[in-house]
Amino acid sequence: MELVLATKNRDKIKEIKHLLRGIEVKVLSIKDYPDLPEVREDGDTLRDNAIKKAVTIAKYTGKWALADDTGLAVASLDGAPGVYSARFAGPGCKYIDNNKKLLQLLGDLPLNKRKAQFKCVIALAEPGGKVHTVSGLINGYIGTEIKGRHGFGYDPVFMVPEYGKTFAQLGLKTKNQISHRSKALEKIKKVIQRMIVD
């Protein structure tokens, strides 16, 4: 079975491939298909975007496609950045730009006002159009400064209460045991395994 990851994000590809180890599936990415259309993530929800990406890529490749959309929701910002997490600081922004904007908006708020939740929605689309979706969550809070050298995205500012450290401080091994994406991927792995058996 071949599975196309509907993302160009090298960090995501690396993380997803690592988390999908152990199942009999050949993992490809849209980088293996240079002529694929660009998919606009213009949905109102993470689920909308994940489904749109997976269905589009499955249709064009004729293979199973897996897409995720991940968002960070900060309670004191009314759930922002949410579906706009990747482009929070504007078009073409980098990870550091998003982190700096978030820290600036939260200012000197105390930790109990910095509660946040990471949510990952994964869509698995069959070439025929059927879609399976799962999600994973982790609760935490936004720290007051950028800390750690591992991970990507908001990892340097997202604090995990049980560890008192950011995802970026914990490192990939620990992050992949507890993260929102790992929880969602564990669920989708079971779906993939059932498909392989069938």
pLDDT tens string 102-141: 999 999 999 999 999 999 999 999 998 899 999 999 999 9
Q: How do the domains of the chain map onto residue ranges?
A: 2-197
Q: How does pLDDT run across 179-188, given as a tens digit for each residue?
A: 999 999 999 9
Is 68 a residue of the active site? no
Say yes or no to pLDDT of 39 above 90.
no
- Which residue in this structure is represented by tokens 């914990």? 170
Residue of 11, 35, 69, 155 marked active site: 69
**List of E strands, the chain:** 2-5, 26-29, 64-74, 81-82, 115-125, 131-142, 158-160, 165-166
- Of the candidates 53, 197, 63, the one whose C-alpha atom is nearest the C-alpha of residue 128 is 63
CATH number for 2-197: choose from 3.40.50.300, 3.90.950.10, 3.40.190.10, 3.40.50.10540: 3.90.950.10
pLDDT of amino acid 24 = 83
pLDDT of amino acid 17 = 85
- What are the structure tokens assigned to 23, written together? 């199942």
